[in-house]
A and B are shown apart, each in its own frame.
Chain A
C-alpha cells in the first residue's frame, strides 16, 4: 500500500483565505455542519442510496465547492439541507444537519419554513424553470419580503426594485412587471439570485448556478455571487460538476462520488496535489489554459447507482490504482496533510486535506497524469 503522501506535508498554505477569520481557530463553530447525512429514495423494490454518509462543515464567510459528476449526490445533499424533498415519505434523510446550533432535520416544518428563504436560500441550475411562468417576477421577489418580513405590498415592491438593481438587472421598474420568459437566461438567473438574497441569508446554496447559461454569461453570474458573498459574509455552498468553476471562487472543495465524500481540502491543496484518483480524473477532464502538455482525459465508465449498502470503494471499478482491498473495504476519510488544528478539538475536517482512498495518488505525481483505463 503506497502511502508515501502521508508523510509529506503539502506545500500549500493551509490557513483559509483572509475573509474567513474564524474557521481555523477551532473556537467558532461552523454555521452549517452536516454529519453522516444519508438520503435514500424509496423505489418499488428497495431503496436507492443517493447520499451515503456525508460529513462536512461550512463557516460564515466561507465558500465551499461541492464537486462531482451528475448523480454523485451533490444536489441531493443540497435538497436535504433545505429539506425540499416531497413529504410523502418517498425520500428519507438520516444523520444530522446542524445549522446555527439546531439540528434542522428534526425541527418541525413551520420552523423549517421560516428558515428557508430567510436564513438559508438556494439558487437552482435552470433559472427558466425555477421562475413561475405565470407570475410577474416582481411579485415573486416581493412575496418573500411580504411573507417573512410582513411588509406591505408597496414597501415589498420598493425593496424588490432595489434588489433587482443590486443584481444588475436593467430597467428595474419595468422589469418588476415582466414575466420570466421575457428575460434572457442570464437575467433570469440574476433574478433568482435576487430572490435568494432578498433577506440576506446566512447560507446560500448555489446548485450549478451557471450550467444552463451561455459561457460568456457564466463568469458574470459567478462574479455576482462572489461579490454578494464578500459583502454580506454569508456562507456559500457552490455545487458544480466543474472543478474549474470551483477553482476561482471557493476556499475549500469537497469532492463527491456515488454519495460519498472522497476528498476534502483547501482549494489550493486540491489543485496542487489531488490525492484521490477520482479527483485527479476530474482535473484531467478540465480544460485549462496553463497546461498545454496533456490532452483532456475523460474518466472512463459511469458512476454507479447505489442500491445496496456500498461494499468496497464505489470508484474501484473505474479506478486505475485499484488494489485488492478496494473491492472489499469502503475507505474512510483520512487526513493526508499536516494539520493546523487538531481534529479532535475543532471541527474535524475544516482545515485538513482528507482523502477516502486505500491507494491515494502520491503528491509528487502530477495532477494531470492521464488515468489508465481498465476497460478500454
Chain B
C-alpha cells in the first residue's frame, strides 16, 4: 500500500511539457540506480561532444617509441601497438559509438513507426501483409541478420548503422501498431474523425502523439543494445575501419596482443560495458517513471 498515492492528483502537474520533463527527471533522480544511469549517460554525452578537447593525446598519430605501454601516469589506459594512447582513442570513439547507436534507432523509428501506424490504422489486409513481413524480419536473430546485411553492403560504419537500423524497425512497427489498436477507438480519435480530420492527420497528430511515451521508453531501453550491436559489428570488421577509433574496432585490433598486453582490450571493453549499463539503467528508470505517470 503506497500512501503517497492517496494524495489528490496535483492538477498543476498536468500537461505543460516543461513541468512533465522536470517531474520525469525528478522521478529518475529519486531512484539511485536510474540516477547513476542518468549521470553516466550525461557524462558520456559530454565526452562525446567535447571529445577532441577532452582527449589528452592525438588518437591517430603514431608514436612507435611508446608502443604497447601498460597503464601508467602518462597513459592511464596504456598504449596500443602503434604507441597511440588508448584512453584518448576510447574518448574519441565515444562520439562514433553514440552517434552510430542514435542513427540505428533513428532508422528503426523512421521505418517502423509509419509502418506500424499504417498497419494499425488501416487494418484488414494491409495490416495482415505488413505484420507478416514484420514477422519474417523478426524470424532472423537480429544480430545475425544485421551481419548478413552489413556484409553485403560492405564494411563501413555507415553501412553497419544502416544494416542494423534495417533489422531494428519491426520492433517499433509492432509497438506502434499495438498502441494504435488501443487508441483507435478512443473518443478523441473518433471526435477528430467526426470533425473531418484526414487519416494522415489523425495518424500522425492524434495517435502518434499519444503513443510517444511507450516509444520513448522503448528507444531508451534499446539504446544500450544498439551500442552493443554496433560494437559487435565493428569487432567482426563490419563497422568502423582502422585507424578510426571506435570501441568495437579497438577490441578487434587488440586481438593479436591482449593475451600478453591485457590492457589493450580491457579498457575499451569496460567502456562498452559501463556505457551499455548506464543506458539500460536509465531506460529501466524511464520506463518506471513514465509508466507510473501514465497509470496515475
The majority secondary structure among interface residues of chain A is loop
Which residues of A42-71 have CB atoms within 8 Å of chain B's CB atoms?
43-46, 48
Contacts of B2 in A (CB 8 A): 43-44
Min CB distance A302 to B, Å, is: 12
Residues 37-56 (chain B) with a chain A CB within 8 angstroms: none
Kindly state the separation between the CA atoms of A45 and B218 in the bound complex, as whole angstroms. 32
Residues of A within 8 A of B1 (CB): 41, 43, 48
Is A177 in the interface zone, CB < 8 Å from B?
no
Cα–Cα, bound, A307→B4 (Å): 12
- Can you identify 14 A-B contacts, CB atoms within 8 angstroms? A41-B1, A43-B1, A43-B2, A43-B3, A44-B2, A44-B3, A44-B4, A45-B3, A45-B4, A46-B3, A48-B1, A48-B3, A305-B6, A307-B3
Closest to A42 in B: B1
Which residues of chain B have C-beta atoms less than 8 A from A305's C-beta?
6
Residue positions of A touching B, CB distance < 8 A: 41, 43-46, 48, 305, 307
Shortest distance between the CB of B30 and any CB in chain A (Å): 12
Chain B residues with CB under 8 A of A41:
1
- Tell me which of B1, B2, B4, B6 has the highest count of chain A C-beta atoms within 10 A of its own C-beta: B1
Q: 1/0 per residue B1-43: CB within 8 Å of A?
A: 1111010000000000000000000000000000000000000
Give the docked Cα–Cα distance between A73 and B195 (Å): 51
Chain A's closest residue to B6 (CB) is A305
**Complex formed: what's the CA distance from A48 to B3 in Å?**
9
A46 to B6, CA, bound (A): 14
Could you say which residues of chain B place their CB within 8 Å of the CB of A44? 2-4
Task: Identify the interface centre among B2, B3, B4: most chain A CB within 10 Å of its CB.
Answer: B3
**Shortest Cβ distance from B2 into chain A, in angstroms?**
7
| Given A43-B2, A43-B3, A48-B1, 11 new contacts (CB under 8 A) | A41-B1, A43-B1, A44-B2, A44-B3, A44-B4, A45-B3, A45-B4, A46-B3, A48-B3, A305-B6, A307-B3
Cα separation A305 to B5 with both chains bound (whole Å): 12
For residue B6, which residues in chain A have a CB less than 8 angstroms away from its CB?
305
CB distance from A217 to the nearest CB of B (A): 32
- The interface residues of chain B lying within 8 Å CB-to-CB of A48 are 1, 3
Determine the distance from Cα of A41 to Cα of B1 in the docked complex, in whole angstroms: 8
- Complex Cα–Cα for A43 and B6 (A): 12
A202–B2 CA distance with the chains assembled, in angstroms: 37
Which 10 A-B pairs have CB atoms at the shortest separation, nearest pair first? Answer: A43-B1, A43-B3, A48-B1, A45-B3, A41-B1, A44-B3, A44-B2, A305-B6, A307-B3, A43-B2
Q: Which residues of A contact B3 (CB under 8 A)?
A: 43-46, 48, 307
